[in-house]
Amino acid sequence: MSRAWLIGAGPGDVELLTLKAARTLALADVVLVDDLVNPEVLQFARGDAQIVHVGKRGGQQSTPQSEIVATMLDHLRAGRSVARLKGGDPFVFGRGGEEQQALQAAGIHVEIISGITAGIAAPAAVGIPVTHRDHAQGVIFVTGHGAGEHEADWRALAATHMTLVIYMGMRRLNEIVDALLRAGMPPDTPCAAIESATRPEQRHVRATLSEFVQRVAQAQLGSPSIVVIGGVASLAAPVDAMLKP
């Protein structure tokens, strides 16, 4: 009997994969892998498993979502067990909810295997707690990928005084920062951007909101990166300290 799983591969470091995810991968006949998944995670797949790469990365050409779902359904209807392997957690900006709905509509039960989301792991990798009694009573996860009618309400977000953790925000960082400043967020608000978090190539930048875009550009940080805005970002380790062996 075929089975379906949506599996979170974690933020990058293969050792942050959960035990349940590793065990489940070993059961799948077919593994559909997102672009941001560390290839080392595939060591836990069966040696005879079919690996299908379905690149999904913000701002870059990606496999259409409809094609991914159709591929999953084709394999499942042929009696194969399918693992959909996603970076981070499948239900945090991973379209896992859409895939679950599509499979359920086809009468297929899908099991969710949670993963550590980059929105928590990336800040932690440089010493930033997303909540802290002295700085923030809560945290808001938001995508920076939207525009137009899909744009986040940055004025409302700024008014919460909570930590903002922004996924897929690098391409529009200048617009996001401008919107937060116009919304009244203080220019000296601490900010950080973490690139390739938990991986050997991890880098990060700290700056105030008014200097943030310039500092990120100077460091030539790119995607995948997580942006943290709020008092907790002041707790990030100095960049030089992270470079020491």
Q: How confident is the prediction for the chain on average, in pLDDT?
A: 93
- Answer with the one of 113, 143, 160 that is the final residue of a domain: 113
Note whether 134 and 105 are same-domain residues: no
Q: Is 86 a catalytic residue?
A: no
Q: What is the pLDDT of residue 241?
A: 55
- The active-site residue out of 29, 56, 89, 185 is 56
Dist. CA 29–CA 51, nearest whole Å: 9
Q: What is the pLDDT of residue 150?
A: 78
- CA-based nearest residue to 225, from 10, 9, 7, 11: 11
* Tens of pLDDT, residues 32-70: 999 999 999 999 999 999 999 997 555 555 788 899 999
Domain housing 22: 4-113
Note whether 122 and 86 are same-domain residues: no
Note whether 125 and 225 are same-domain residues: yes
- The active-site residue out of 13, 86, 162, 168 is 168
Q: Is 168 a catalytic residue?
A: yes
Strand 110-113 and strand 30-33: the pairing is unpaired
Count of structural domains within the chain: 2
Of residues 1 and 100, more confidence is placed in 100
The structure tokens listed for 243 are 């470079």
Note whether 197 and 98 are same-domain residues: no
Question: What's the distance, CA 192 to chain centroid?
Answer: 16
- The active-site residue out of 34, 72, 86, 185 is 34
